[in-house]
Amino acid sequence: MLKIFTSIDTSFERLLETLAVLFYCSEYLFICIIILIILIYLLFTKYFIIPLLYFSWVYYDRNVHNQGLNHWIRRLSIWTYFVNYFPIKLIKTHDLDPRRTYIFACHPHGLMGCSIVANFGTESTGFSHQFPGLTPHILTLPEYLLWMPFKREYWLSLGFDCRKGQALVLVVGGGIEALDAIPNTLRLTLKHRFGFIKMALKHGTPLVPVLSFGENNVYNQYEVPKGSIINRIQLLVTRVTGITPPLFYGRGLFEHTIGYLAHRKPITTVGKYLLYISETFG
């Protein structure tokens, strides 16, 4: 009898973990687009005041990406289930002085940046416990935060913003690195990506290189040959919209089905070493 209840508990935990990942992947891919379509539709109905008020507020509050929001979403229990799904681990190798400012230079981006959000956008892997006194801010482009309904407030509450902070989290390869997120490979986008090093040199800011092992394994992606027509289209879409369109697939809501959920593959994030850059080089 105990074995039956244990099996039920385990299955229920796995269900909650799957639902947490379903929420994350759905939000990442299309929830904000659906909300935007609904708001535009409402503009032409008797409920036009709803989107009008929202877009008016977005315009009035357009500089919020330089100020940030309360990070209450970071502490929700849904992120514990999200992390346990893979699972994702954050390995600490150095103590960091909370009186200093740091740049966490992260690789790889992966398809949906699962480890980036889990480690630095939530408290589910214990960032604040391992590095007391530091608050991470995941840097992103302002246009991503200004006009995307729901995603704007959601990302800001996770710590995505453009303001200065103690622990600036930078995904060096950006979205273009997602095109190289092939399972069992680790291809980093570094060309023309050294601006953050110049800033670190200028301000004497320590760099913390961060690598997430296994990030590229949580999705399958069709490897498109460089220079092919499809690859050129992908790069063109990226340049025009800022959104990278990889050809990928994951698992479905049920095991052994195809869908857009991430696979249950472990991810281990390590800040391998700490590099201090002297202010005298600025």
Token pair recorded at residue 164: 């200065």
Count each helix (H run) and each strand (E run) in the chain, helices first. Answer: 10, 10
Q: What is the pTM of this model?
A: 0.84
Q: Give the up-direction half-sphere exposure of residue 92: CA atoms within 13 A in the CB hemisphere.
A: 11
- Asked if 35 contacts 26 with a C-beta cutoff of 8 angstroms, the reply is no
Q: Provide the residue-wise pLDDT of the chain in tens; the chain has 282 residues.
A: 434 433 444 688 999 999 999 999 998 888 888 888 898 999 999 999 998 998 888 788 776 666 655 577 888 999 999 999 999 999 988 888 888 888 899 999 999 999 999 999 999 999 989 999 888 888 876 666 566 777 777 777 776 665 555 788 989 988 889 999 999 999 888 888 888 888 888 878 888 999 999 999 999 999 888 889 999 998 898 888 777 889 999 999 887 789 999 999 999 999 865 666 554 444
List the end-to-end C-alpha distance of the chain, in Å, as a whole number.
Answer: 68
